[in-house]
Chain A
Amino acid sequence: MSSNLHIAFRFLTAKKRAMLMSLSCIVLGVGLFIVTQATTSGFEEFFIKTILGTNGAIRIEDKIQYTMRSMAAGGFSSKYEIKTKEGRKYIEGIEEPKLLIDAVKRFPNVAGVSEVLHGAVIMRSAFKNESVRVYGINLDDHERVSDIRRQIVRGKIADFPGALSGSIIGIEMAQRMQLELGDTYQLEVGGQVRRYRVTAIYETGVSDIDRVRVYLNMGEARSLLQKITGASFLQVGLINRDRAQQDARSMTEVLQHNTKSWQEREKTWLEVFRALRISSAITVSVFTLIAGLAMFNTLAMIVMEKTKEIAILRSMGFTREDISQIFLWQATIVLTIGTALGWVLGAVITYGVSKTPINIRGIFAADTFIVSWSIWHYVTATVTAVAMVMLASLIPARRAARLEPGDVIRGTAQ
């Protein structure tokens, strides 16, 4: 062990109680930082999973038509003519889904494309009427761009494609209409009424979906909504979800259709999660800040108490750098122990929290706290603690290094 480290250890033990304060703040700071990051990013991650599992990574809808306006600059015979995009006009829906699907599939990041046709209908059961939306899908395609198979909570999805009158309804809808698996109900649109059977019930956790979406087979939906061609939108699944924004931008350019990535669609919620994650990090960093202050205080105290020892060390040939190192070592020792304990605390609490029951419905479905395990939470917590504590230690360490042995011995050191 280097003699500076050795001396640092002994100096530390001389101020055990003050150091313990600093240590416990580091443990709390690091531990709670990890826990808050694990939970906030756990929920965020889960929310993203839900988005991708329901509405997919990218949605393509509405053809874009640019309306151009020509302006002759400087008189009407001028050769400078500026074409400005006056505005975009959207033509609702997708006229040629087959052509568009082929074009979309040429993008390398695309994992699957599903055409969807939707329309508003009235649902009638024995108890009441509700307005809901029919979603016509080809199950094989739709499975490639969503998690619909895993969202099924009752019934068998395999029974759906074969049955013309089969349907998959949301769990909230089922509760409100008091429908069970195998029950029948009616859908009414434009004066025509048809009867359907509940083949399966799904739960996404997203109220807006679970309450209103009824999935029908595409052919049946076309006939019910009386739309022989075209689609409402295309739902696109991606291989790398993080490229969704770039892909959406180039699809808009190339396909001339209004294309939205999941980040753009869910911007508000994503911002909320991000703000939550950052604000909780800041809140918890208060502990680390206190750890830094406590360390500053403790080291300053040790420097004051040990001026004579410092003078003795200097008389034996210890340099100014040695002296400041001795004090920085003290901070490092406490930091190392504190961070290690903080990791353990963080991991234990995170595990405990992940087993804690909680019932969340609305933006996703969760039955326990959702945590994400990431080494980066630990790294960030450590970096924050190291930065704060070392910064706070620099001042007393430099002070110690600046002491003049002559002044100390005469008792006139300041």
Chain B
Amino acid sequence: MLPANDKVALSCTNIHRYLGQGEGRVHVLKGVSFEARRGQVDAIVGPSGCGKSTLLYLLGLLDRQDGGEVWINDRKMSTGSDAERTAARGEHIGFVFQFHFLMQEFTALENVMMPMRKLGRLLLPAMEARARQLLASVGLGDKSHRLGTQLSGGEQQRVAIARALANEPAIILADEPTGNLDVKNSGMVFDLLTRLAKENGQAVILVTHNTEIANRCDAIRPMRDGLFI
């Protein structure tokens, strides 16, 4: 049975975040509220510097907000302990960073297996099989034994996407996942993410500057100056 679609996987209300110290303190997020449903792909768009990445870190429990709440699978995580938030990250969230992607001393395969090994749900051979399959689905089946340093930027980005999918997280947060990719690979990655959303009922939230991709999402959330408009 598939998990009920349309169920809210992640929500945040009235999020505030200031960055910087003293004089340089900036009110980056000014009361953002947002909901992501299972089986749905949301695109967050907006000019550079409007706070998209900042919001994504908060949703991914990588950063603490200065005000507001974050809920994941009906559990309030914004005030949770570090241990709770860490466990939730490992189990429910797959995160693709905007810039740095891989553990450089590890092969693509090892990178993809790492979250699985941490979670420890599968046996090692099953982990490896799943990692290979994920790498194949982002078009890197033949480069699974390359180290991070031996892959191009776009290839690294695709490995990072495969890694974010490793534990079948309920929520996938991707910060410009197609930023370094050509049209063909962008299309492939985007198709993979939408297919996962539809088939597995995962909630996908991606930040993108690519209007074509944004238009193919279920919803577009334009953002400006720390607020959705």
Contact = CB atoms under 8 A, between A and B. Distances in A.
A314 B86 contact: yes
Interface stretch (A136-144, A225-233, A315-323): A315-323
B103 interface: yes
A3 B117 CA distance: 7
Interface string B72-100: 00000000001100110111010101001
Q: Which of A313, A316, A409 has the most CB of B within 10 A?
A: A316
Contacts, number: 68
Contacts of B106: 10
A308 B100 contact: yes
A317 B103 contact: no
A316 B105 contact: no
Nearest to B148: A309
A148 B86 CA distance: 75
A318 B118 contact: yes
Interface residues of A, number: 27
B62 interface: yes
Nearest to A407: B63
B104 interface: yes
B62 A10 contact: no
A13 B57 CA distance: 31
A11 interface: yes
Contacts of A405: 57, 62-63
Contacts of B103: 7, 10, 309, 312-313
A389 interface: no
A317 B118 contact: yes
A319 B83 CA distance: 7
Nearest to B56: A409
Nearest to A311: B62
B50 to A, nearest CB: 15
Contacts of B104: 14, 309
Given A316-B89, A320-B86, 13 more contacts: A6-B117, A7-B103, A14-B104, A309-B104, A313-B103, A314-B62, A315-B93, A317-B87, A317-B90, A317-B115, A405-B57, A409-B62, A412-B19
